[in-house]
Structure 1
Amino acid sequence: MAALASKDLCTNLQDIKLSEADLQQFCCPRAHWQPGHVLLYNIDQSCNRFTCRSGQRICVRCGANYLVDSEGYVCCGGADNTEVICNHHCCKSSSCMGDSSCHVCNRPLDMTKYPHCSTHLYHVSDEIETDTLTGFINTNLKESISEKSIYALSCDMVYTTTGLEVAAISMVNSDCQVVYETKVKPKSTIIDYNTEHSEIIMEEYLGLQKKLSRRAPSILKEIKRRLSVGKASLLRRFGYDGRSSLKKVHKKLLKLIGSDTILIGHDLGFHLLRLRVIHDNIVDTIALYPHENGFPNRISLASLKSKYLKCTTTTVLGFKCRGDAQTAMQLVKLKC
């Protein structure tokens, strides 16, 4: 049952919802005349990166150009056959959030002047291939949900062979109580769990902690190695996979979200794009708390939480997105 929002909160949110012009400015997915497809505006000023080059990508961490095979796996370190190792600084959020220094070593992000502090075995990309922008659902067509509910939504992402995909979703009501939460099984093979930002740990995400802990160390090492390169057959072997497909997530969202539902989030268009969801009634904290340098810069959610809120959000292993959704809801209520 969807949680009914208080009349006052619902009324106040009507005044701070994003207009159609705002939705386009913040690159929120907009309805396309062809079902399942999407229209996007103001792409250059969004946190999204798009590409038409199916065999070449740019690493989101170190900026290197690298080549991928037909399945999306790295086939060499770069377009000029440079090393595969990814050396980089750790930026807590994407560059459009205005970060200028590494959150680990506190040095400027310019690696031409300051040595890297982090290393990964693979390059990863958050680029979206334009011909994959299909499979969207439009919640605005769902008029059967008469309750004017209010939810805050957030997702955790992992890097796959096709880019950045949703790995977990949390949705909370106006009282910050969870109404829907699940791990999501990406369509493509995971190549990096993005733990620095998503806080997702491979063994926990796959639900294998107890099963793996009973294995001998040598076998455990091999199992982890094979899982890290996408051997999903091991999940079937262990008889467990508690993740939901994006199709199942869509079915659940269409039961909870209707045309009158107000969705709250931090840079929500970024999340909805990867969730493949089109929705009109949005309240976004990046609009309510603008960056001092103006758009397209954004203040990170962590910075907003530190400045305006006491630590009242829930931290759950495997669901950082729950705390993010709760934070967004609380920040919006401060403006009401």
Structure 2
Amino acid sequence: MPQRRMTAQEICYQRMQKAQQQAAQLAAAVKAASASTNPKQGLTGEKRRVAHRPNASLPSSKPVKAHTSVGILSKTTSTTMQKRVAHTPTMKRPVIPAEFGAKVPTNVRQRYLNIFIDECLKFCSSEQEAFQMALEEEKVVCDRSSSKNIYLNVAVNTLKKLRKSPAVSVNAKCQSHEGVLGGRLAAKTSYTINRSGKQQDVDLKGAILYKKLQKYAMTEEQLQEHGYPRPHPEVSGHAVVHNLPEKKNNDPFSKICCRCGAEYKINAYGSCVRKEECSHHWGRLRRNRVPGGWETLYNCCSGAVGSPGCEVSKQHVQDGRKESLDGFVKTFSKPLPVEGNGGVYALDCEMCYTKQGLELTRVTVINSDLKVIYDTFVKPGSKVVDYNTRFSGVTQDDLENTTITLRDVQAVLLSMFSAESILIGHSLESDLFALKLIHCLVVDTAIVFPHRLGLPYKRALRNLMADYLKRIIQDNVGGHDSSEDARACMELMIWKIKEDAKVKR
């Protein structure tokens, strides 16, 4: 009897039954493998023998897929992970002892001590050295602080210092050039071809100094803003002053004393109509912090604002330099030498009070080699009423036999300088008014080193020298020395050029 051909529906049904049988066999194999990994679960008969004989072959009815699943499952469930153990320090960190009524809370000190330790550990050779350094730094901060707020400010500055330039330990290992290049300092360390590893200092003299100083020269806008004498656009020999405060009193015979601020009268010859003593403070006002606020005192006698003056002079005096704007001369333009050096000079002037106001009594000029090339006393044009020796250092004996006048000084300076020369000074507009000299290429150390409060405040030259060059000037009780002040201005600018070059490197 011929075989009947299976329909498509029967073929699908048969394949479905075969797939169900294979799935059931796979499930049984997985269950057997799971039981073999659990010692608490009992196995019997053939299943036990298969579980304890890993090399024994499974029944042929199980497909290859079942064998693979059993192996993977057994390996997965039997693998265990080891726990990582963090590094623990070998020494216990120091603790700030609690103190009753301390000016700075103990928890604040401990927090910053831990921060200092973290920074010191980065460059110290041992934990003990790092702990000791951090303790010393924290103690210095605490000793300098009288309150919590001051402690926080000083601690932040100390932390910046540790991060910026950490001290190198004596026992630290030396690194080779290649080692540093490959290390963590490679991104912020510069290298040179010099074996010593130091930048070669440029000899700042002559044309090199002249070119580098040009970027510090004041612009025309700055000259006008800071009250420098500028040439009159119409009248030859006259000067104009921009940003000059408007006068409240237009009476030419009524003056305001520039020392005590009192109003007084003069006659047509500049003499005081009445003989009045001038009681004033020769020092400057200084703002000092005290418990509960601030107080402003004179640094000459520590007197408060409005207190009677600590010095008494015979009569009132005036400045008068910006009122007499005639008789000015202007430097001439001259061809530059081959090397392009127009000349660098620093100058300083001393003045005394006359009937007409402040007038020139001494002028000093030095060159870039810090040598005095011109220094002379000058005879004022009017009668002297106060030699101002405390500040000028000039006495009556110095001017007694002097015959050099302001016109003689102007002739010498015009032959010495040119319009291309660089003149350096501190608040140089005051000296140019005394010299009645108009010049454009000016470097003013009061502008290069500005006051933190801005104009009209300016830093004193002696403070600049003490802060930047660590040297004391103007400490002579006999008054200032113009050659010392001029030399200080030149040295400050040479130092400034070198410091700016370090930043660029």
Within-5 A mapping of 1:70-219: 70-76=268-274, 84-91=276-283, 101-108=297-304, 110-111=305-306, 114-128=307-321, 130=323, 132-139=324-331, 141-143=332-334, 146=337, 147-206=341-400
Q: 1:129 to 1:271 in 2, by over 3 A?
A: closer
Alignment match, 1:327? 488
Alignment match, 1:244? 404
Query: What is the DSSP-based 3-state SS (H/G/I as helix, E as strand, rest coil) of the residue aligned with 1:57?
Result: strand
Q: 1:42 to 1:162 in 2, by over 3 A?
A: same
Q: Which of the numbers 208, 218, 223 marks the counterpart of 1:23?
A: 223
CA apart distance, 1:314: 9.6
The amino acid of 2:256's aligned partner reads I
User: Is the Cα contact below 8 Å between 2:283 and 2:299 reproduced in 1?
Assistant: yes
User: Is the Cα contact below 8 Å between 2:230 and 2:240 reproduced in 1?
Assistant: yes
The amino acid of 1:153's aligned partner reads L
Alignment match, 1:264? 424
- CA distance, structure 2, for counterparts of residue 116 and residue 5 of structure 1: 47
User: Is the Cα contact below 8 Å between 2:391 and 2:480 reproduced in 1?
Assistant: no
Q: 1:253 to 1:52 in 2, by over 3 A?
A: farther
Query: What is the DSSP-based 3-state SS (H/G/I as helix, E as strand, rest coil) of the residue aligned with 1:330?
Result: helix
Query: What is the DSSP-based 3-state SS (H/G/I as helix, E as strand, rest coil) of the residue aligned with 1:292?
Result: coil
The amino acid of 1:254's aligned partner reads L
CA apart distance, 1:333: 1.3
The amino acid of 1:193's aligned partner reads Y
User: Is the Cα contact below 8 Å between 1:91 and 1:101 reproduced in 2?
Assistant: no
CA apart distance, 1:91: 2.2
- CA distance, structure 1, for counterparts of residue 216 and residue 321 of structure 2: 30
Considering fraction of residues, name the structure with more helix: 2
Alignment match, 1:59? 257
Task: Find the structure with the greater CA-based Rg.
Answer: 2
User: Is the Cα contact below 8 Å between 1:92 and 1:102 reproduced in 2?
Assistant: yes
User: Is the Cα contact below 8 Å between 2:254 and 2:266 reproduced in 1?
Assistant: yes
CA displacement 1:163-198 (0-9 Å, x = unmatched): 111110011111211111111111111100011211
Query: What is the DSSP-based 3-state SS (H/G/I as helix, E as strand, rest coil) of the residue aligned with 1:15?
Result: helix
CA displacement 1:6-26 (0-9 Å, x = unmatched): 222111111111011111111
TM-score by length of 1: 0.76
CA apart distance, 1:92: 5.3
1:8 aligns with 2:208: yes
Q: 1:304 to 1:59 in 2, by over 3 A?
A: same
- CA distance, structure 2, for counterparts of residue 203 and residue 162 of structure 1: 21
CA apart distance, 1:144: 5.3
- CA distance, structure 2, for counterparts of residue 264 and residue 51 of structure 1: 35
CA apart distance, 1:145: 6.8
Q: 1:133 to 1:196 in 2, by over 3 A?
A: same
- CA distance, structure 1, for counterparts of residue 216 and residue 272 of structure 2: 44
Residues matched between the structures, number: 279
Query: What is the DSSP-based 3-state SS (H/G/I as helix, E as strand, rest coil) of the residue aligned with 1:197?
Result: helix
Alignment match, 2:461? 301
- CA distance, structure 2, for counterparts of residue 50 and residue 263 of structure 1: 34
- CA distance, structure 2, for counterparts of residue 103 and residue 189 of structure 1: 31
Alignment match, 1:226? none
Query: What is the DSSP-based 3-state SS (H/G/I as helix, E as strand, rest coil) of the residue aligned with 1:43?
Result: coil
TM-score by length of 2: 0.52
Alignment match, 1:210? none
Q: Which of the numbers 245, 249, 262 marks the counterpart of 1:44?
A: 245
CA displacement 1:140-165 (0-9 Å, x = unmatched): x2425755110001100100000111
Which range moved further: 248-257 or 6-15? Answer: 6-15
CA apart distance, 1:319: 6.8
The amino acid of 1:59's aligned partner reads C
Structure 1: runs of 5+ lacking an equivalent: 78-83, 94-99, 207-240
Q: 1:129 to 1:25 in 2, by over 3 A?
A: closer
Query: What is the DSSP-based 3-state SS (H/G/I as helix, E as strand, rest coil) of the residue aligned with 2:413?
Result: helix
The amino acid of 2:485's aligned partner reads D
The amino acid of 1:143's aligned partner reads K
CA apart distance, 1:204: 3.2
- CA distance, structure 1, for counterparts of residue 481 and residue 365 of structure 2: 12
Considering fraction of residues, name the structure with more strand: 1
